[in-house]
A and B are shown apart, each in its own frame.
Chain A
Amino acid sequence: MWDIVSELLGKMLSGFGEKLAAFGPNLLAMLLILTAGIIVAGAAHLLARFVLARLGFDRLARQWGVNSVLQFGRREPSRVVAAVIAWLVLGVFLLLAVSALDLAVAVELVSKAFAYLPNVLVAVLILVIGSLVSAFLRRSVLIAAVNAGLPSARSLAAAVHVALMVVFVAMALEHLGVGRQVILISFAILFGGLVLALALAFGLAGRDLARDYLERVVRGRKEGAGDEHRHL
């Protein structure tokens, strides 16, 4: 009885040993790739911080008004971007490491991930550009609204920012192929609803404001009525 058990265990162990011997190099390769990934990601992080500092990225981010978007806590935008680059590099090495295992599932997963990667990068690019554009326009609208003497300048600027971000997020998701129809319809409903709400608010709740605005447009009566002095 004991002999049978011993024989079975021996076969199992030798089988495991053979499989381990066959799989070991793949595992080792995965660990090596991961180690290399950590080193390269670290180097990419340092390099990115150096290059961004030389380019004056933090100043440019302030100029464009995107420092609030890129800042997490008290971290400078350049540190955040460098960290994102490092994680992206590490992610690529992680996929390579998984593929090194040479398992059918892993290989399929990795090939799908790599095929999808360009979409992700383009979506990220759309979001970055969207953040830049919407932050810049938010500030422009805020200043213009203040200079025009509008009492709700901040709300107006925030509305422009949100509306633009909605457009860019919808574009990014569309690019990723996530619920294309749902996003398109949701966006159309949201945007149409917003315009309708604004039209109703302006036409009903703000009748006086609308009348005043139309008077100014049609009769050329300026907001600065009572100001006859020349600035220059």
Chain B
Amino acid sequence: MTDRVPLESEVEAKLAEIGEVDLLVGIPSFNNARSIGHVVRAVSAGFVKYFPEARAVIVNSDGGSKDSTPDVVAAASFEQPGTILVRHPLTPVHKIVTPYHGIPGKGSAFRTIFTIAERLRAKACAVVDSDLRSITPEWIELLLGPVLHEGFDYVAPLYLRHKYDGTITNSIVYPVTRALYGKEVRQPIGGDFGFSGRLASFYLTRQVWDTNVARFGIDIWMTTTAVAEGFKVCQSFLGAKIHDAKDPGADLTAMMVQVVSSVFDLMITYESRWKEVRESDAVPLYGFPHGVGLEPVSVNTERMLRIFRVGVQELGDIWAQALAPEDKGQIETIALLEGERFRFPDDVWARVIYDFAVAYRRRALPVEQLLSSLVPLYLGRTASFVLRTAESDAEEVESIVTELADEFVKQKDYLLQRWS
């Protein structure tokens, strides 16, 4: 038996009452009273519409919300007056609302969800963000269906997002995951996933809950672990992903450190696996891709470029601990490009990320400082992407992201040479 998180006595009582379930959907939350009601209603409707015969439970794992989020979850029901149900559930949809323990963060919330899934012997599970505005009952079928009906262990989401959204995904996580592990999982840190009960139990056996996996690193850790450990992986097309208004407290540096350190830690853990991978394969797609309208997003490239240039001016000594001298020289040249001519080439960016991975592995600098110093470079690269794609449609943007991922594959020999 491995380490399991302790559960509240009320939760233990509820688990004893429920016994076993077929389906479980977890919703991590922290001060999401405004949006979580909609998510709970969509999940409940999804259970009723697509799995009316299944025993199902919704688990809200809360980080100590001060805005009555748990109350909203407890009160939320899709059976509002006026709602006409074509199907009725044979068993009621249970709800468990619990605080989680451990380091505050999404990963710790997931750990509690995995523990409950294991205790209830859930066959198919999913996790969805609590600030989603675009979630529909269909998402539940798309995330749980491949596990329940097709025998997949892990379902990654495939969204339509605005071309400027998910820039850490597009410029770092997707290309690295594809180049290293050989699976074309387009949204490895999408936030909404389906997984088997078997995989939930496997996650609980790993000793990662005191690392950045307990925070924003959880998404990439789940995806990479599933891929690298040989679990059956697919993608489900969920349509648009629209969140509630952006969290003003979300700090880019903290996100960067947590996500990228998890990516690099996984590179160290699965070194023997990724060194053998030479090409990438598409993963099966579940669902029916279609076009959707997306909300416009404004991006301040001027500010990004200002931070990039200040970084080039001031952080040269720090970058020298990670970057190869030629690349550092190229970055200094890039910083001189003005206005629309500003471009951060794909090959330089791929080598920058690989250089930082190597520096992370040999602990060239304290982890926090090393990865925080990547932020100006990332903003430079993002500004370049925004300027290049200003007039591009979704298809063109996707081909630009694929070109970058291909470049990461091409530069893998460079990584192997520097890594050893």
Contacts and interface: CB of A to CB of B under 8 A. Distances in A.
Given A64-B366, A143-B315, A229 B167 contact: yes
Given A147-B307, A149-B307, A232 B216 contact: yes
B243 to A, nearest CB: 7
Given A143-B318, A149-B310, A230 B246 contact: yes
Contact of A146 (B166, B189, B311): B311
A143 B303 contact: no
Given A62-B365, A231-B167, A144 B314 contact: no
Contacts of A231: 166-168, 252, 255-256
Contacts of A230: 165-166, 243, 246
Contacts of B165: 229-230
B9 interface: no
Given A140-B369, A146-B315, A226 B166 contact: no
Interface in A93-118: none
A130 to B, nearest CB: 18
A80 interface: no
Interface string A216-232: 00001011111111111
B287 interface: no
B315 A142 contact: yes
Contacts of B311: 146-147
A70 B275 CA distance: 38
B169 A232 contact: yes
A142 B246 CA distance: 27
A155 to B, nearest CB: 10
A220 to B, nearest CB: 6
Given A227-B300, A230-B166, A232-B168, A143 B373 contact: yes
B211 interface: no
Contacts of A150: 310
Interface in B360-384: 362-366, 368-369, 372-373, 375-376
Contact of B298 (A62, A144, A226): A226
A181 interface: no
Contacts of A147: 252-253, 307, 311, 372, 375-376
Interface residues of A, number: 30
B300 A139 contact: no
A46 to B, nearest CB: 27
Contact of A142 (B162, B314, B321, B368): B314
A105 to B, nearest CB: 51
B376 A146 contact: yes
B103 to A, nearest CB: 18
A17 to B, nearest CB: 67
B369 A143 contact: yes
A151 interface: yes
A65 B365 CA distance: 8
B355 to A, nearest CB: 16
Given A144-B372, A153-B310, A232-B216, A227 B303 contact: yes
B363 A63 contact: yes
B365 A229 contact: no
Interface in A8-54: none
Given A149-B310, A151-B310, A153-B314, A228 B369 contact: no
Given A232-B168, A232-B259, A222 B369 contact: no
26 contacts: A62-B365, A63-B365, A63-B366, A64-B366, A136-B366, A139-B369, A143-B318, A146-B310, A146-B311, A146-B315, A146-B375, A147-B252, A147-B253, A147-B307, A149-B303, A149-B307, A151-B310, A222-B248, A229-B299, A230-B243, A231-B252, A231-B255, A232-B169, A232-B189, A232-B219, A232-B255
Interface of B: 162, 164-169, 189, 191, 216, 219, 243, 246, 248, 252-253, 255-256, 259, 297-300, 303, 306-307, 310-311, 314-315, 318, 321, 362-366, 368-369, 372-373, 375-376
Interface of A: 59, 62-65, 136, 139-140, 142-144, 146-147, 149-151, 153-154, 220, 222-232
Given A59-B363, A62-B364, 14 more contacts: A65-B365, A140-B372, A143-B373, A144-B253, A146-B376, A147-B311, A150-B310, A224-B300, A227-B299, A227-B300, A227-B303, A228-B299, A231-B252, A232-B189
